[in-house]
Amino acid sequence: QKNAQLNNLRFELASVQRDQRSSPDDLPKAIKMVLDDNALEMRYQPKVDLRSKSIKSVEALVRWPADHAQSVATNLLIDTAEQYGLIEQLTIQVFNKVLQEAASWESMGLHVVVWINLSARLLALEQLPKILERLLNVWNIPASAIGLEVTESAFIHDIEHTTALLFELKNLGFRLSIDDFGTGYSSLAYLRRFPIDELKIDRVFVQGMISSKQDKQIVQSIIGLAHNFGLSVVAEGVEQESTLNTLRLMGCDEIQGFYFAKPMPGQDLLNWCEEFNRHIVERL
């Protein structure tokens, strides 16, 4: 136990030192360099479809380069990129890498929809649909093979503008999901206003279900709400079998979480899907 405590302390000190070494200005500079080197890495986490017991889609998650001297958590990377006007460049790089990988899966016979997280700030970018359309053309991927996950915070600013942009993206063929549903400034008005396909329940509620009756009721309510509006519903952050079983009984459509898989490099996905079909599917 003492060793564990010492290790914790060492870990905490190391992170304090890291914070001190990088002054607030160093991080945006480091991000800019990584972006210019096209060095961001992507990981992919499967979404398990409970009804068909198959993998129909994966979520792309960006990672700071593993071989870099510094280590930067994804949330901090995204927040800083947003704050320093680097999020547009980051997003284009992410799309480019994901579409390239999607094209290579397609050529290996692996057909999955790839969900990409879209920062709320991007919905203010007038040229976004045009840019994404161009990237799709470069890699010869149909928009219907790509989903966009947007958090509720994207909707609170310019509602008129956001609505128009979401319709434009929808008309191009992209699927749309509301990420971290239930944690933001939820307004049920979006459900009829925006052309969305899916709600993604925040993992705070999914993990809270284990100990909290209220969280369980929230999850059940979101699933009911989604289905009443004809939307598909995904639970993120599933780590335990008991959570999986509860969600299945509640009628949740898709499950994502460490219980099945952590985010993995793109080149591992085909093998993992084969492994899923051979063994993991028995756990369902």
Rule CB under 6 A: say whether 86 interacts with ligand C2E.
Answer: no
Residues pairing with 147 in the sheet: 115, 175
Phi and psi of 172, rounded to 5°? -70, -20
- Residue number of the CB closest to ligand C2E reads 257
Residue 46 touching ligand C2E (CB under 6 A)? no
Q: Which is nearer to ligand C2E, 23 or 75 (CB)?
A: 75
Task: Centre a 10 Å sphere on the Cβ of residue 216 and count the other Cβ atoms it contains.
Answer: 17
Residue 3 or residue 94: which is nearer to ligand C2E going by CB?
Answer: 94
At 119 the three-state DSSP class reads coil
The answer to whether the CB of 201 falls within 8 A of the CB of 181 is yes
Number of residues this chain uses to bind Mg ion (CB under 5 A): 5
62 binds ligand C2E (CB under 6 A): yes
The Cα-based distances of 24 to 18, 83, 237 in angstroms read: 11, 11, 31
Q: How far is the CB of 122 from ligand C2E (least distance, A)?
A: 7
Cβ–Cβ < 8 Å for 172, 194: no
Instruction: Give the contact letters, 230-259, x = binds to Mg ion (CB under 5 A), - = no.
Output: ------x-----------------------
Nearer to ligand C2E, 180 or 223 (CB): 180
Q: How many CB atoms lie within 10 A of CB 250?
A: 17
Amino acid (one-letter) located at 56: K
117 lies in the site for ligand C2E, by CB under 6 A: yes
Residues 138-197, interacting with Mg ion (CB under 5 A): 149, 179-180
Q: Are 187 and 153 in contact (CB under 8 A)?
A: no
180 binds ligand C2E (CB under 6 A): yes
Kindly list the residues in this chain that would bind ligand C2E in the complex (CB under 6 A): 45, 60-62, 74-75, 78, 94, 117-119, 149, 179-180, 236-239, 256-258, 263
